[in-house]
Structure 1
């Protein structure tokens, strides 16, 4: 019996994620669809079918999405953009009433994850180190310091403050967190959680070797046992679901400090998927009654390195945009 169909939302240029799920769906039956508010959605060309949908803030967006799920036999929704996660968390019960699971934590858990101050408080209470926070006023010897918005994604607004003059020029201090400038290596950890219980299944750490405009272009799987162990504990503490991307500093001198969690697939998560995490297949195994197979850890290809590059898609006819 076929599982049903998958809908990947805010698909944009996430063609590799679509391809990963399509490869797995050959084993489970069903199709992979994409949804995006923009007609120029490159990932849609790699899907079985692409849908243009309203922006989620538009009137009637929920009814439109529910109808899409209902009319197309969607059994799993995979949100991929931080900004859409609150919509799906708030409306999770309605999608589940249509028979579709949504890879998103509860509203309360999501709020904790997306508010960096609440995130730090939650994990520190569990004995997991967060990036240290400092509060003004600062002495001259405190600079440089690092500031970032309490909410937001993609590193927008995060920056170094080099002097007291730069600090005095900041107008929105109540919306910011202040940190000492940490000189440690930064890692991304892809974390796979169960879908029906707060159980961490496996995590793979990767070092971002080359980063351009905040996006990892060269990444390498590394052996960081303590970092992985703490990430598993973090996932269970926060009650995460499915595939998640975690950011942390880690080195032998300064130890481990977690920066944030994005409760979704990341832009370079394909490396961890191919290096052993195998999260699309394992998520579907969990949803089809094969939890034992899904829960079994996979061998990890330590040293596997991914080089990302741009690829063009050329078609004879495309939607207007």
Structure 2
């Protein structure tokens, strides 16, 4: 039934998710998975993966995939007693996330069914928690009284009600599986934690070993969810084993594999639990019920964690990002912070500049008063990055691009990625004379450039600019020959170009680590002050974009780059220059779907970008730059 079906799974890299994905993939489903965690290394490349906070999932991403089924597993949990800090985490990753995912999903044209991983924590704990140990578990059916035990349970109940509400208006079905005590591979459950501790030779700490729980193996949960998707089940359905076991039973089974196991019983004021699922409805709907017990599944976990202990698996450390020369580049900083937020990581944005009082320093998480480049050795930079867990660097000023491009390979050997092109490509973009010569040799329509005005053999007006640095610095536009020569005397290394009248464009693009242009957005420069667009509008310009894609590929660029182009009255393209960095108004392209910083961070984490399509906004947008205020 699910072969060939498009299935979206939220939280698919979790303990239930990995078991579910394995089954769905072998069934022949077309999978799109989203999770905060990195993509599991052993997954097949045909599984599309989106790492990041699903609160930033867009309808466009889902519409491009157009799922038939949704398994919504993503959620945040804590142990028996929720901490004060869980107040915000529960809202963001349970309440808000579930609502957002279904807000994106509810308009999907081919959606058939939503399977929601709910929880038995919705039931009134007065039914199954006691002041004294119990001999048997209390069986809970779907009609049992509800009174959520904690924030997580309340969030699950809210989303059950949201799905019930949507079922009144939308044609897809939904089923909510109230899942009991899950344990499995790579989980934070108590059985997994105890096994890992025992492999380390640690003594266990045990509370209320008389407690009775309906432990269900993650693989069986996955099987149960698939069977619910197959069936005509809707509404609320329990998912457990209907055979609860005590904590003491768990310890007894573990003792078989760890004969020298020791544990201490600590006093606790938590109630004694005695709960299990009534699986009559599930059985009636699916004809199946989980049957595997602790004696069958714990050996699998023992072997799994033994192998992991021998592998000496290292957990990834912090992955902070350094943005240099932040100056007044607030829109750029905000675009980077948006990418970090979308990733959902604990990444800190560290801003660097020579000036400790710069405006940009107020918009970063931390600030580094960076020494001048002439005083900054690669050893000093690497030392700073290691001490501050910097794994990614974004240079933002023309004058530092060569510095970082020359260090790029050395930094990469230390696990530090830099969003900068190779040295030859950077040199070609910084030297306007070289850029013109290379472009002409490659057959691209670059505007001719000459050191001498006589070399141009041009009868009209002229442009005079500096050979190196930002093209807008001390530029002279539309000058006569005499005016051009006079203006050139004010420049350090003047270049001459013919002045071409026409419409100005900027074309932003991102070139990935394989040299492929990931995405591209053209925009008109509607109002330009001091060489930067103050008003710019995204436009559809396929010929312009294709020209830039070919040129960028031939130049061997990497990361975010910006071409400046003039299109004359006859429609002829004239390439002015290329900036091998994020531009002053490039944040419009980010809003249009050119997710350069998100893609760069993913690549610096070792992720492939095939699962992250460029989804250009269907509506062209306009950016208007204006001064703003920050209240600190």
- Superposed pair shares fold, TM > 0.5: yes
* Structure 1 position 72 matched with structure 2 position 388: yes
- Indicate the SS of the match to 2:446: coil
Aligned-pair CA distance for 1:164: 4.0
**Which secondary structure does the structure 2 equivalent of 1:293 belong to?**
coil
Match of 2:532 in 1: 215
CA 1:280–1:167: 2 relative to 1, 3 Å: closer
Tell me the equivalent position of 1:17: 332
Q: CA deviation at 1:270?
A: 0.6
The 1-side partners of 2:578 and 2:619 are apart by 22
Q: Once structures 1 and 2 are overlaid, which stretch shifts more, 248-257 or 170-179?
A: 170-179
- Listed one character per residue, the Cα deviations across residues 36-62 of structure 1 (whole Å, up to 9, x for unaligned) are 11011222222221111111123x454
Quote the offset at 1:19 in angstroms.
2.3
Map of 1:267 onto structure 2: 584
Give the Å deviation of 1:261: 0.9
Report the CA distance between 1:167 and its aligned residue: 4.2
The 3 A distance-change label for structure 1 pair 213 and 188 is same
List aligned pairs for 1:1-321, cutoff 5 A: 4-26=319-341, 27-29=343-345, 30-58=347-375, 60-133=376-449, 136-137=453-454, 142-160=459-477, 162-169=479-486, 170-171=488-489, 175-194=493-512, 196-251=513-568, 253-288=570-605, 289-294=607-612, 296-315=613-632
Bigger mean CA offset, 107-116 vs 155-164: 155-164
Give the number of the structure whose alpha-carbon radius of gyration is greater: 2
Which TM-score applies when normalising by structure 2? 0.46
> Cα deviations across residues 191-233 of structure 1 (Å, max 9, x unaligned)?
1100x22221221011111122222111100111100000111
Moved more, 29-38 or 167-176: 167-176
Paired residues in the alignment total 312
* Change beyond 3 A, Cα 1:304–1:139: closer
Is the contact made by 2:353 and 2:368 (CA closer than 8 Å) also made in structure 1?
yes
Alpha-carbon RMSD across the aligned residues, in angstroms, is 2.5
Residue 319 of structure 1 corresponds to none
Q: CA deviation at 1:301?
A: 4.1
Query: Do the aligned residues in 2 keep the contact of 1:202 with 1:232 (CA within 8 Å)?
Result: no
1:318 maps to none
Shift of residue 66, structure 1, vs aligned partner: 2.1
Structure 1 spans left out of the alignment, 5+ residues: 316-321
SS in structure 1 of the partner of residue 321 of structure 2: strand
The gaps in structure 2 that reach 5 residues or longer are 1-315
How much has 1:282 moved relative to structure 2?
Answer: 1.9
Structure 2 distance, partners of 1:16, 1:168, is 38
User: Residue 110 of structure 1: CA displacement?
Assistant: 1.2
CA 174–115 in structure 1, closer or farther in 2 if over 3 Å, else same: same
Cα shift readout 1:226-252 (whole Å, capped 9, x = no counterpart): 000001111101111111111011246
Does structure 2 retain, via aligned residues, the 8 Å contact 1:217–1:307?
A: yes
SS in 1 for 2:410: helix
TM-score (structure 1 length as normaliser): 0.88
In 1, Cα distance between equivalents of 2:527 and 2:481? 31
Determine the C-alpha separation between the residues in 2 that align with 1:139 and 1:69. Answer: 48
Distance 2:388 2:619 in 1: 40
Cα separation, partners in 2 of 1:2 and 1:280, compared to 1, 3 Å: farther
- Describe the shift of the 1:2–1:269 C-alpha distance in structure 2 as closer, same or farther (beyond 3 A): farther
Q: Which has the higher contact order (CA 8 A, sep 6+)?
A: 1
